[in-house]
Structure formats: structure tokens, C-alpha cells
Copies of this chain bind each other. A is one copy, B any other.
Amino acid sequence: MKKTRRAYSLGLDFGTNSVRALVVDTASGEELSTAVVNYPSGEAGILLDPKDPNLARQNPADYLESMVRVVKKVLRLARKVRKSFSAEQIIGIGIDTTGSTPMPVDRNGLPLAFHDEFKNNLNAQAWLWKDHTSFAEAREITELAAREHPEYLARCGGVYSSEWFFSKILHCLRVDPKVFEAAYTWVECVDFLPAILTGTLAPEKIKRSRCAAGHKAMFNEQWGGLPARDFLSKLDPRLGELRDRLYETTYTSDQPAGYLTRSWAKMLGLKPGIPVAVGAFDAHLGAVGAGVAPGKFVKIIGTSTCDICVWPNDRPLADIPGLCGIVDGSVLPGYFGLEAGQSAVGDIFNWFVNYIQPGGPEHGSHQALTEKAAALLPGESGLLALDWNNGNRTILVDQRLTGLLLGQTLHTRPEEIYLALIESTAFGALTIIKRFREYGVEINEIINCGGIAEKNLLVMQIYADVFGMEMKIARSSQTCALGAAIAGAVVAGKNAGGYDCFEEAQAAMCGVKPVSFKPRPDRHQVYQELYRLYRELHDAFGTREWQGNLYHLMKELLDIRDRQLARARELAAASARTVRTRKKK
């Protein structure tokens, strides 16, 4: 057995500010080494416009330069950790990126940004996912689709976003026709990178990611792929013409985009000819790395949250109102990928700690507030909050919503507000889960990953208490890069030391941490009462349909508070008795 040659896969995770590389043992999922390199341009890798806070672009050259550095670094580290390791043992590469992050390219598939003429033009760069310059175009697309093709919207939650493919291209066409005219076509960052590594950059050769095309480019085989030419032409005739230079076919990440070219192999220090998987967006491969499967719901919890689950594509599935994306094959081949999310989670906690700075520097850190908040019973503060400081992605799909906090008295303390904010994100998450279940999607297990899931144990415990379900944590701390590595192992195939399909690869390479968070029944009961009140606030401020009166709301919160304060006193007295009894003994 000792002689069996080990096989490794390389996952590359292109994030908002940096690229991460991960070398994974395909047999065990063991993560041999990992490395991160920051993008060199702009502010933390983002090109900004001081005159327009909505603008966020990236220099495509950053991706290539940082990739070379990070791969060399991760290979060097792997050799350090395991003397027997050799770069020759890497059997495949998988790639995930942010998205939708499209860029204009020339007839050869090279970014316009690489041309001297355009290298300083922000519109010729990659339009980062969080660029919101296209908000007017997004509204225009939504309105036209609502009138003429409501089916386009049905699978993306009813609203087409300013963060997505066509909004961005249409905005470029409007504000910088020169760039638009100079572009032969547009490619997502997630398609550009596998293509350049495999020499398939030419627009007719490039394999487009199913995941990226999905709802973000409104691609669906039901209506023959991309939106109708006629539809795009109504937005602008030139957009209709562009459609012919986009794509007809999309691919899932179990397909190779191609094989590593000799020149890139040399630059990266890898074996030429190894397969590079078709790319996918970060959250989707993150869900794969966390072990997503039918009934297994993955929550990627960071500054915002992405919720992902899958549903067999041969079983009927209704349109689920308010869901951002339902795309066949976007996560796992053979399954609908279902994507939901919360526009801000960690960002709300960070806002409170960094901008409101409650309690001053000594008492107002995440750690200090968490410690004090952990001592509170549900409802003891009398507070209730809405988690809409950055709008609501699911289930309301409405950016024009804002935060709300109620129940403050003259005694309210920072840690109580901190807990109320955590609870509000839990209630928001529960609203998503309930929506999935209402439409028949089974959720038997919840696996969490991302920075908050890893670092804030209180958040995980509160989520368990609010949902009434065990919260598991993915074993890997970099599920996106792991998911990419899994794709790399799948395209390499069993003969090379990889796998034939995602399920097999996940079974071998994924897992959860030994410690999980179990719901506390008494707290879950109180949270059910509080959730009912949250849901009423949510509907009163978030939907046009709700009609009613909120007179009872503050009163019910005070009733719960009074009951929980009494309970807290009982518990304190019981604990004091225990201490006394112990002392007597």
C-alpha cells in the first residue's frame, strides 16, 4: 500500500480581494497546503472611482499575476509539509471566482484591458460582482421582462439585479459605447481563467459555465438558452446583436474546460496536459466543498450569507417566490441548484462594532459583546430587530429596505442590541428555510461554513436555538477552494487518482467538524414566539399585502421580557443554592 502513488488536486478560489490556492489529497480530503496572494491593483484589489461609490472593477491582469504567485507558493508549502510531494502528483485543477464579474474581450478572447488603448479605462476592466453602477439598467431589464417574459424572472426571484451580466453590459453600452463597440464579446471571469490556462480563449472554443450563465445571464434551456434576441434588442439593438457573439451551450464543472497548456504549466510549475474543470461561482463550489446533497442545506456565512441546496432535476419543483436562482446543474450535475441569501450578516455585526462602536474600545469588541450576550436568555432584553441594514435578498428581493430595532428602554445595553442583531439574522435565515420547505424542498441537515460559522460560536448556537435544528460546521475552512479541488479531481477521473463524479469525490473529500451545536428546547420555544413577532414586522414593512395593527407587538415583547427576567432570577437563585450546598459539603 505504501507504494501507491498519492494524487492531489489543486483548487483555485478567486475572491474579491485575493486568490487562494489549496492542494488537497484526493483520497482523504486532507488539505496539504494553502496560500493566499492579494491582488496588486486598486484598493485591496478593487478599482474605484472617487466620484461614484457604486463602481467596483478589477484589473484582469491581477488574476493572472496573482495566480502564478499563489500556485508557486502553495506548491512550495506542500513540499515543505510532505517531503514526498511533487507537483507532478497534481492531477487536475478546479477554479471558482466571484460573479457575475464579466469583462469585455477582443476577437481572440483577450480582455480589452490588455490593449494599450483601454488599459486605463475602467469600463474595459472586469466589472466586479458588487459593482452597482447599472442599477437603472437592472430596473429597465426587470420591467421589460415582467411585461414580456415573466418566465425569465421566475427563476431569479422576480428581480434582475444590477450585479448581473446584462445590466453591466447594457450600462457599458450606454456610458462608454467605444468600449462596447471594441468588444467582440463578453466573458465572465470564471470562464476566462480556465480558458486562458487551457488555450481555449477563442470565443468559439471557450466553454461557458452553467453556474455563471444560470440566472445571472437568464440562461435556461426551457427558452433556448440566453434571453431572446428580440428581447435584448428592445433594450438596445446592439445588445440584440451581441447575443450572436455570446453562447448557445453551457457546461457543468464535471467537464474539463480543456487541458493545461505547456506555457502555463511552465509558469505555474505544474504538469502540462492536466485537465482544468469548467469554473463555477465561489458559493456554488463552496457548497460542494461543504458537502451539499439532497436534503443537506449549506449556509455560507460571512459578511453576507449564501444558502445553497440541490434538488434532483428529474423531480418536479415549483418556482419558489423570492429565490435568487434556480439553475439546473449550477451546483451539482443532475440537480437543480437552489440559491438564496441574506444581503448582510457579519456586516451587520461589524457595522455595530466598528461604526457604532458601542461600549467603547474596552467593552465593545466582538469578543466582549459575545461573552455578555451569551449570558442572556432569549427575549430577556425585550428587543427585536430586522436584519435589513443592506436590504433583503431572500425572500423579499428588495434592496430598498433598511434595518429596524425596537424594544429599547433606558436600560438597554450594547450586548443586548448585539444579541438582537444576531437573532435577527437567525430569524431572516429561518424565513428562507421555511420558504424552501413551503415549496416542498426537503431540508434534513444544515451544514455551515464561512468566517462567521468558523469563528462565532454564539451565532451558531443561536441559529440552532432559533431553527430548532443541529448546526453542523463543514470540516474545511476553505470550502470554496476545496469545492474547486473536488472539481479538479472529478475532471481528472478515477484512473488518474480522482473520481468519476461529484458524489464520490464529496464522499471521500468532505466532512463536518466533530463539534456541532444542538438546539436548547426551552430557548427554541421562546424563539418560536419571538419569530412570530419578527415575521409580523417583516411582513408589515416588507410586503405590500400585509394589513393590520402592531399595537400588541411592544406589549408582547415586554410580556416575554418580564417572564424571561423572572426565569433568569430563578436560574440565578438555583445556581446560588447549588453553590451554597456545595460549600456546605
Contact = CB atoms under 8 A, between A and B. Distances in A.
Interface of A: 344, 347-348, 351, 355-361, 363-364, 382, 386, 388-390, 400-414, 417, 540-551, 553-555, 557-558
13 contacts: A355-B411, A355-B413, A356-B413, A357-B358, A357-B364, A388-B554, A400-B555, A400-B558, A403-B409, A403-B412, A541-B551, A544-B549, A546-B550
Contacts of A361: 360
A558 B541 CA distance: 13
A414 B550 contact: no
Nearest to A561: B402
Most buried by B among A357, A403, A408, A540: A408
A510 to B, nearest CB: 33
Contact of A548 (B390, B408, B414, B547): B547
B554 A356 contact: no
Contacts of A351: 408, 410, 412
Most buried by B among A544, A547, A549, A557: A549
Contact of A417 (B356, B363, B558): B356
Contacts of A405: 404-406, 408
A16 B170 CA distance: 68
Most buried by B among A360, A388, A543, A544: A360
A133 to B, nearest CB: 16
Q: Describe A's contact surface by its main secondary structure.
A: mixed
Given A402-B558, A404-B405, A414-B357, A542 B547 contact: no
A256 B546 CA distance: 62
Contacts of A541: 406, 550-551, 553-554
Given A357-B364, A404-B408, A540-B551, 17 more contacts: A351-B408, A351-B412, A355-B413, A356-B412, A356-B413, A356-B417, A357-B357, A389-B408, A389-B410, A390-B409, A402-B407, A404-B404, A405-B405, A540-B550, A541-B553, A546-B550, A547-B547
Ranked 8 nearest A-B pairs via Cβ: A403-B408, A404-B406, A360-B360, A402-B407, A351-B410, A402-B554, A540-B550, A541-B550
A402 B542 CA distance: 21
A344 to B, nearest CB: 6
Contacts of A408: 351, 389, 402-405
B547 A549 contact: yes
Nearest to A407: B402
Contacts of A386: 406
Nearest to A408: B403
Contact of A414 (B356, B411, B543, B547): B356
A535 to B, nearest CB: 14
A406 B538 CA distance: 13
B410 A344 contact: yes
A546 B554 contact: no
Contacts of A558: 400, 402
A550 B406 CA distance: 15
Contacts of A355: 410-414
A548 B540 CA distance: 9
A403 B413 contact: no
Nearest to A361: B360
Contacts of A545: 549
A554 B389 contact: no
Contacts of A402: 382, 406-409, 554, 557-558
A6 B89 CA distance: 107
Nearest to A391: B409
A116 B386 CA distance: 57
A543 B554 contact: no
Contacts of A382: 402
A145 to B, nearest CB: 22
Contact of A549 (B546, B553, B555): B546
Most buried by B among A363, A389, A544: A389
A407 B405 CA distance: 9
Given A360-B361, A382-B402, A410 B542 contact: no
A554 B400 contact: yes
Nearest to A343: B410
A414 to B, nearest CB: 6
Contacts of A551: 540-544, 546
A360 B364 CA distance: 9
A438 B555 CA distance: 28
A379 to B, nearest CB: 13
A406 B558 CA distance: 19
B403 A407 contact: yes
A406 B410 CA distance: 18
Contacts of A542: 551
Contacts of A554: 388, 400-402, 541
Nearest to A544: B551
Nearest to A350: B410
Most buried by B among A412, A543, A554: A554
Most buried by B among A361, A417, A550: A550
Contacts of A359: 356-357
A435 B191 CA distance: 65
A404 B551 CA distance: 13
Contacts of A547: 547-549
A412 B390 CA distance: 11
Nearest to A303: B410
A543 B553 CA distance: 11
Contacts of A357: 357-360, 363-364, 414
